[in-house]
Structures are given as structure tokens and as C-alpha cells.
Chains A and B, each alone.
Chain A
Amino acid sequence: MTADKEKKVRDPLFHIIKRGSIVWWKSALIRVAAVLIALIVVALITLLITGQNPIEMYKAMVDGAVGNELRIWNLLQDTALLLIVGLALTLSFKMRFWNIGGQGQIIMGAIAATACMKFLPGKVPDFAIYLIMIPAALIAGGIWALIPGLFKAYLKTNETLFTLMMNYIALNFAAFLTFRWSKNSGNNVIGIINRKTHEGWFPEIGGNGFVGRTFLLNVLIVFVMMLIVFVYLKYSKHGYEISVVGESEKTARYIGINVKKVIIRTVIISGAICGLAGLILVGGVHHTLTTDIEGGRGFTAIIVSWMAHFNPLYMALTSFLIVFLEKGAIQVASSPSLNLDDNFANIVTGIIILFIIGCEFFINYKIVFRKKKGGAS
């Protein structure tokens, strides 16, 4: 018996086992549990640190995200804007091309769109503005991704650093242009372009009574993009090549795929979709160019893509979740009855996302606790 006692002390309490596979409802259950636990943890932290009523805080979050019709449309539009960047990056990520240059590619698309809106009216017919503006934004975004893509394909440079650096060039280029194109020279504000004529603005859908009239088209474009990217990746030959190159370049060469061609083609498409996001931001949302127009989406979309395991349809959910939390956090920070600032709101968002990402561990692994042993002699 003494040996048994000694053994218990030295036996590890639990060990971790990799799951072979998991049934879908179990993984769904784990994810739901993760969210619930996160909410409880956040509630406790809120109570202990701030003394505020967590229920009130949650109410404020929901109110901020879906409190009225306008907020719902804002939520949908922001979800769409995040999703489209996620879709763009996913194309690269599937190929293991770590494109973290979404920011720069969006900004370049936005710059091209702005230039068209600013300089084309009066020179070409109104409908032609769209015909020029759309390809211009796509090409601008595409080129911004193509440059690191070429270096990756031919010189095997590290695309992560390269795409990151391209962000700063785009960002400063945008800053320079807001200075150059500013309405009152020197104040660095371009202001709403074509405010009266709406040249180059995305058309509204629905009458004046419809709250979503300026949002609906943006959301629809992204929804269609999502379906296109889903089908492209899953059912097209190109999508298949992307997967093969991403999984194993050796296999790709073995079966005769032109790896360089696939890399270049894919990063152009990836950058062009980012350019499309920039186009929507200018033509459909802001109607101007600012240095922070991209709104951090180029980076947030990385989380969106990963959390959804690179599945375009799941990405709708992950971007919704992130935008919902963001919107909620803003309301929490601004609610006068709560006395919480945006730093605390960000802590809340951070904790919830941490739990959601962290629960992946329990989906891939299970923990087995030590069993009681009988009859050791």
C-alpha cells in the first residue's frame, strides 16, 4: 500500500490526448460552452474590478450592436466589409502565402477609386465612371499584392515581411494624397466628394423610407463575393491548384503544376478583392479618402480567416462575431450609466475572443484524468 501511495504522488494527475476526430455536435457544444464560460468570466471580472452590474453591461453590448434598425444595418455592413477582406486573405492563406498586406491593398484600391471619383466627372459620362472606377480599384489592389508575389515566386523572399512593408508605403501614399487633394490646402481633409451630384457613388437601393438603402448594395456585393470565393476554392481547378501548392509545393511540381503561375495568379486575385473592399469603402460608404479608411480590417481579417479555418461560409460568422463585439464595446464605453471606458470594453472583447480561440484546443485534444487503480500488488 505504501508503494501505491508513493505512486499516486508521482503519477501525473492528467494527460493530454489528441483526438482522432470529433462529432460535429460535440465541437459545437464545446464552442457554445466556451462562449458561456467567457461571459461568466467577463461578468466576474466586471463585478470584481469595476463594481458595475455585468447584466447591464451585456445589455448595453446588445443594444450597441442591434439596438435599432440603423445599428443593425451598420452591423451588417461592417460585417460585410470585414468579411470581404477575410475572403481576399483566405485565397492567399490557402496557398500558405501569408498576406498580411491587406491594409495596403485596401488603401490602394481606395486611392484608385477616390481618384476616379475626383477627376473623372465631367470628362466621361456618368456610367463610364463606374466602368473605369471598378477595374482601377481592383488593379490597384492587385498590383500591390503582385509585387510581393513576384518576389516570392521568383526569388523566394519572405512574403510576410514584404506585404507588411507594402502597407506602410500605401499608408503614407494615402496620407500624402489627403494632403495633396485636401479641400482647404493644408488641413489634410479631402471631404465628401461629389456631395451634390453623387458621381461615382454606389446607387441606393430602395426608397427614402428604407433605412438600409445605402447599406444593402454593399452587403449584397460581399455576399455574392463570399459565394464566388467559396465555389472558386472548392469546385474550380484554380482552387484545387491553390490547395495543392499550399499543402505541398513538392507535390505541385511532381504533378506538373506551374507553381509560380499559381502563386502570381492567386495573389493578384487576393489583392484585387482587397482593392474591391477599398472601392466599397470609398464608393459605397465614406465617399472620401482618409488615412484611416481601412479601419484595421487588413489585420482583423487575419483572425476572421483563421477562426473560420479558411472556410468562406464560416467566415461570415466569425466576422459577424468580431464586429458584434466591437459595436457592443463602443456602446459599453459610451453608455453614461455604466461608467466604463473603451479600454475596459476592449478587455471584454479580448477575453471573449480568447475563449473562442482557446476552445479549439479542447476540440483537438482531450484531457484524461488519472484513473483510480485497483489491485496493484
Chain B
Amino acid sequence: MDKIPALELKNITKTFGSIVANKDVCLTANKGEILAILGENGSGKTTLMNMISGIYFPDAGQIFINGREVVITSPKDAFDNGVGMIHQHFKLVDVLTAAENIVLGLEGRFNLKTATKEVASIAQKYGFDIDPMKKIYEMSVSEKQTVEIIKVLYRNANILILDEPTAVLTPQESDKLFDVLRRMKEEGKTIIIITHKLHEVLSLSDRVAVLRKGEYICSIKTSEADESILTEAMVGKKISLNIERKEPNNPVDRLVVKDLQCLNREGVHVLQDVSFTARSGEILGIAGIAGSGQRELLEAIAGLQHISSGEITYIDPKTDKHENLRDKTPVQIRQLGVRLSFVPEDRLGMGLVGNMDIVDNMMLRSYGKGKSVFLKRKEPRDLANEIINSLEVVTPSASTAVRKLSGGNVQKVLVGREIASTPTVLMAAYPVRGLDINSSYMIYNLLNQQKANGVAVIFVGEDLDVLVELCDRIMVIGSGRIAGFVDGREATKEQIGLLMTKNVSKPHSEKAEEVTQ
């Protein structure tokens, strides 16, 4: 370790207004090393890396690359210094090919043919699977990520920074990515990977640097670390990582979906032959690659998506009456007495209004009650304060715009509101996406409470580790059709991962042959 580090940060500080994103951070990364930067959301990981890649400029502090101090004011400066970052949200032009995207922005004349060849050779060297002539919009998420990585390698980056690269990948795709990263490390490149998934840190990295609330906490050799040490460093206190899973209490059918078909605007099936039953007192997990029809399924149940055929039947727990929810608007569904709550994936674009304060967001579902033409803000204000207290929402006041809250607090506001209406069916799409560990566990607890109250919970998740820990049953969905059901208590995530990718290549018109349970 006495050689010069590939990257060294000294006392980096960055503030946004009154928010301190990074404070006096010192960090080193060595040649031929995979360094994991671990921290909760909002701990300043991405900001720190953005300063190395030229997106932000530090307020104070120094950056050394190979022992030489550098000033990085733009992504171009970063590339000139051999630093390349693969952002969480890809920065690619959809209508261009992979090769075109890769050379895009390079100065001077270039020959697309030689560039294509070079791209192919980089791909071969590290074991990427890529067609340089394929257009971005035809690519899957993992292919797009590959393009981003090659783009950085093409610019001769020796330090690669990856921001939560596995957030959008299946377990199998993640493993493949890790193989590539290990190969790069052998080539002597420095890999910095931002993540909050502990098992990835442990399986991939050589060393872990932990950030908490913008400050550098410590760095640990991965070989000397385990999950509880890392969590404690990351959160600042010991927390239990076990999700309680009680046996469902007297489950009865609550929501029966039968042969559901939905078409999108282009007339393509986004849901096909989807049949399942959600039962009271049970958490039904839905697993699948992002965009496999999860959103459409939940929206169809909530009355937001047109259904071309099939039935959605709600069974009233008190009267045992069967209500058909098909082709009903959200208001009509509510008028039927169906207490259906829905935590959508797009929290600020759908579940909440970002520019409104917490009180006004509480009213979203209830403002229309009563004959008065004026709003009554008393009840929603009380509810807002109650949720702020009981769910520990960090906010200056109930009249703060929700857009100003952190992701975890936004989600607490949304879930709090949806639970407050004492639902009988609760649908939650990716409810812990972007949340820190504490908030995530609070959400899992809330879902479990609802389950204990006899609510039929439908949970769309992406973290398979959580799905197999939390859910009673898991439905795997692929390309808009059901790929299979597994028992949450017995299934492994590899099993689910296989089901997730099983159906992808099949044409949509084919009849599903296995709707097993």
C-alpha cells in the first residue's frame, strides 16, 4: 500500500444551499482495486463521485490522480485524467446506435468504421456481449449499461465509477457485470462502485469506504467485514436486518383477477392471461424485470388502465358481495365501498403532488367529501401531523412542499396517507426504491402490520432478497404474462431470477401454457 494511489481525495466539501452534501471527505482508491462506496441514500456518495467526474465542482478540497493534483471542471477534464463515470440514469441518445453513442462528443474527426471495430475489440477483451450497430431504443437495460461502460473505456478511462449499477439488473445480469468488473481490475483499472446493497459489497469489492451524512466514516477491507459491521458503520447504530414474517391469519380471497388482457397505445399486449388471487392477511409479492407489466397490472386494478378482456373481482369482507371492478374509474371503485389503496411507483408524479405541502397532499383522496364548495383543511392537517409523528417524517412542518423532503420521507407521507384510509387491499409498487435502510424497514413493518390487520397486500418489488424474506407468495411476471408462482418461504432468489427471464424471448401472441400455482 506504499505506492501512489490512483485516486486520492483530500478534504472535499460540497454544499447545496444549507445542505452539506460532503464534508471534509478524504478517500483513496488504488490501482487494480475494486472500492465500494457504501452509504445510505443522501449520504453523499453520488455527489462525491460527481465531483470526480466533473459534474459538480467542490467548494473546497483537492483531488489527486496518480499523485498529481488535478482540477476537474467538466466531464471532459475527467476523461482527460482517465476518470469515467457510469451514471445511474443512462445518458444515451435513443435513436443512435451503440457505436454512435460511444463516439459522441469526442473531438476531432473520427471514422465510424474503425470506431465500431474498436468497440468490438473492447467488448471482446472484457467479455461484453454487444452489437455496436444496434440502436439504443432497441436495447434492454443491461445492454444500455454495457454501452455506457464501453463509452468510458473507449475514452481510455483507468478509473471507472459505477453508480448503483445493479439497481436495474436481474441477479444473473449482475453476476455477469461483476465478472466483467473483476476482469477490468485484473487489467489494472480502478473500479469504484456506489451501492447500498451489502451482499454486493461483500462479494465484489476489495475494500469498502463508508459514508454517512456526507462524512467519511471509515474504510474496511472487505475480507474483514460482514453485514452487521457494514450496517453499523453505515447507519451509525446496530439494527436488526430481519423481516418478521408471520403465518397468514385465516386468509380468504379478496381480489380475484382472471384472464386479464391489456393493450398499450400501439396495440401491443402489455398484460396477457394474467390470473391470480390476492388473499386477506397475506402479502403477495410480484417479481419481474422492470417494465414487464407490473405497473399496468396495478393500474388496471386501480381503474387507471383500460382492460381489453378479463375480470377483476373484489370480494367485500363484510357482505361477501362480489364487485366487478373492470372498466370502473377510481371514483366509481371508491363509491362501491371498495377500500383499495395504491402506492404507485411514481411517488411525486402520481401518488403525490410535489409542489403541494403535506397537508394538501393528505387531502388528495378525501378533498371531495361533503357538499361544501370550500376545502376543509382541519382533518388533513391533523392527519398530516399524526403521520409526521408516528412515522417519524423529517420535515420542517406540515406545510412544507413534499418535493423538498428526502425520498424516504416522501414515501412515508404517501404510504401513511394510503394506510390511513384503512384499506382492505393495499397495492405498493417498489415502495422502498431509493429509501435508506431504516426507512425501508419501517415500510416493511407497515406492510406487515397491514397484513396482520387482514389487508390483502400486493407488493411489487425489485430486491429479490427482500421478496423472499417478506412475502407469503410470489408471483413472477415476465413480458406481461405470469411466469409462475413460488412459495415465499421456500423459494430461492435464483429460482425467481430464472423465472423472470424465462418468458422474455417468447412472442406475445403465443398462448401461455403454464399458469400454475
Contact = CB atoms under 8 A, between A and B. Distances in A.
A19 B363 contact: no
Given A237-B374, A244-B364, A17 B73 contact: no
**Chain A interface: which size bin?**
20 to 34
A368 B351 contact: no
Interface residues of B, number: 41
B417 to A, nearest CB: 11
Interface in A217-239: 235-239
Counting chain A CB atoms within 10 Å of each CB, which of B15, B353, B365, B373 scores highest?
A: B353
Given A11-B71, A20-B19, A371-B60, A251 B350 contact: yes
Interface string A3-20: 100010011100101111
A248 B353 contact: yes
Contact of B350 (A10, A19, A236, A248): A248
A124 interface: no
A239 B16 CA distance: 34
A320 B351 CA distance: 39
B367 A237 contact: yes
A255 B372 CA distance: 19
Contacts of B404: 20
Contact of B17 (A11, A19, A240, A253): A19
A186 interface: no
Interface in A146-171: none
Given A7-B69, A373-B60, A376-B62, A251 B374 contact: no
B15 A17 contact: yes
B16 A18 contact: yes
A342 interface: no
A255 B333 CA distance: 11
B230 to A, nearest CB: 31
B349 A250 contact: yes
Counting chain A CB atoms within 10 Å of each CB, which of B15, B17, B372 scores highest?
A: B17
Given A236-B374, A251-B364, A15 B57 contact: yes
A373 B404 CA distance: 33
A243 interface: yes
B57 A10 contact: no
A256 B330 contact: yes
A24 interface: no
A93 B369 CA distance: 26
B241 interface: no
A255 B364 contact: yes
B304 interface: yes
Contacts, number: 84
Given A20-B19, A250-B349, A254-B342, A237 B331 contact: no
B218 interface: no
A343 to B, nearest CB: 41
Counting chain B CB atoms within 10 Å of each CB, which of A3, A20, A236, A251 scores highest?
A: A251
A243 to B, nearest CB: 7
B368 interface: yes
A249 B42 CA distance: 29
B425 to A, nearest CB: 16
A360 interface: no
Contacts of A238: 373
Nearest to B370: A237
A254 B298 CA distance: 11
Counting chain B CB atoms within 10 Å of each CB, which of A235, A236, A237, A239 scores highest?
A: A237
A255 B355 contact: no
Nearest to A371: B60
Given A235-B375, A256-B334, A247 B304 contact: no
B114 interface: no
A104 to B, nearest CB: 29
Contacts of B73: 10, 12
A235 B360 CA distance: 11
Interface string B58-91: 0110100000010101000000000000000000
Contact of A254 (B18, B344, B354, B360): B344
Contacts of B329: 256
B418 to A, nearest CB: 11
A7 B349 contact: no
A248 B367 contact: no
B346 A247 contact: no
B332 to A, nearest CB: 8
Contacts of A3: 69
B149 interface: no
A204 B404 CA distance: 51
A62 B264 CA distance: 62
Contacts of B69: 3, 7
A216 B360 CA distance: 38
B428 interface: no
B375 A254 contact: no
Contacts of B60: 371, 373
B277 to A, nearest CB: 25
Contacts of A11: 71
Nearest to B334: A256
A240 B350 contact: no
A166 to B, nearest CB: 29
Given A10-B71, A20-B16, A250-B346, A243 B368 contact: no
A237 B373 contact: yes
Given A236-B375, A240-B363, A248-B353, A254 B302 contact: yes
A247 B353 contact: yes
Interface of B: 15-19, 57, 59-60, 62, 69, 71, 73, 302-304, 329-331, 334, 342, 344, 346, 349-356, 360, 363-365, 367-368, 372-375, 404
17 contacts: A10-B71, A12-B57, A17-B16, A18-B17, A21-B18, A235-B374, A237-B367, A237-B368, A244-B364, A247-B356, A248-B349, A251-B351, A251-B364, A253-B330, A254-B342, A255-B330, A368-B59
Interface of A: 3, 7, 10-12, 15, 17-21, 235-240, 243-244, 247-248, 250-251, 253-256, 368, 371, 373, 376
**Cβ-closest 9 pairs across A and B:** A20-B17, A256-B330, A256-B331, A247-B353, A250-B350, A10-B71, A255-B364, A254-B350, A19-B17
